[in-house]
Structure 1
Amino acid sequence: MDATQAAGQPESATNPYVEAQAVMDDLRDALTTAGIKLPSLGLDSIPTRDGAVLVELGRCNFATARKLAEAVRRGAAPDDPDPDAVAHLAGLAGMLRGHGYTADADADDGTLLVTYGPESRGVTLECRTRPDDGDRWWFCWAGGIWICEADKPIEALVTVKAALRRVDA
């Protein structure tokens, strides 16, 4: 056990390379979602004077640069939700309604808002392919925190119900 673990701090609190690696992996996932690959994406091997670790974006061809610019302009959101994602969300929405929840799908952005009813706070879900799991479909919270595989909707149901108990508490 090192001093960081003994103090109860995560390793990334004192190791900037661990945090930089996590950020770089998150960026790579976001770029992959937008259909963009930066082949030389990596960490700079020499930290700055203040110890910060830089993420090296590297060079790319003009077609990749154009795709990157377009993705930034549109917020990397797909133009239309994938029909498979919509189908997974519709199945989960039906299960949630069967348990007495309100589940409203937004066909424009492919999200599902789940609440106890019109006056309660809710949670928003999406269904995306997960690059680090062979591009299989997964449910996730809006913003991209993974919940479970989309072919396991009961796990998603249990997780959403627990989250709604915390949100409305």
Structure 2
Amino acid sequence: MKLGKIFDRPRQTDKTPVLPTMTTNVTWLAALGSRLTAVGLAVEAGPGGLIVRNLDTPSLADTIKCRRRPDDGDRFWFFTSWNEAIAQVEELDEAVLTVVGYLKYDIPAVRNK
């Protein structure tokens, strides 16, 4: 028996397996949340996105969203609650520094990187 008869080539109608990758906005927000928590910000998941607070000044807070950006090839980006682009999701360090910067939070661990 030839293997060609048992295993054939994939067809266009065959379903492509869904592999676990960081391609959803929830996954990217979770990754950002972990990094922001690591540098000392209060983070919680909310219905509208990731709620980030300055622990010393709780009035300094924002809800960060993650969505596709049509003018950048539909890549995922992080956005502020006022729709200001923060960074592409692949640029987690840049996103952390930006959020820390506009929340006016002096974090030595971030400064000394």
Work out which structure has the larger RCO, using CA pairs closer than 8 Å and 6 or more positions apart in sequence: 2
**Structure 1 unmatched runs, 5+:** 1-82
Matched, 1:147 2:97: no
TM-score (structure 2 length as normaliser): 0.66
Trace 1:85-100 onto structure 2 (pairs within 5 A): 85-100=25-40
Separation in 2, partners of 1:116, 1:148: 20
8 Å contact 1:123–1:163 — kept in the other structure? no
2:80 pairs with 1:134: no
Match of 1:120 in 2: 58
**SS class of match (2:35):** helix
- TM-superposed deviation, 1:112: 0.9
Q: Cα deviations across residues 71-104 of structure 1 (Å, max 9, x unaligned)?
A: xxxxxxxxxxxx8111111000000111111011
SS at structure 2 position matched to 1:165: coil
Secondary structure, aligned partner of 2:82: coil
TM-score, normalised via structure 1 length? 0.45
1:119 to 1:126, Cα distance in 2 relative to 1, 3 A: same
The sequence identity of aligned pairs, in percent, is 33
RMSD: 1.8
Which structure has more helix as a fraction of its residues? 1
Work out the CA distance in 2 between the residues paired with 1:119 and 1:143.
20
In the alignment, structure 2 segments of 5+ residues that lack a partner are 1-22, 106-113
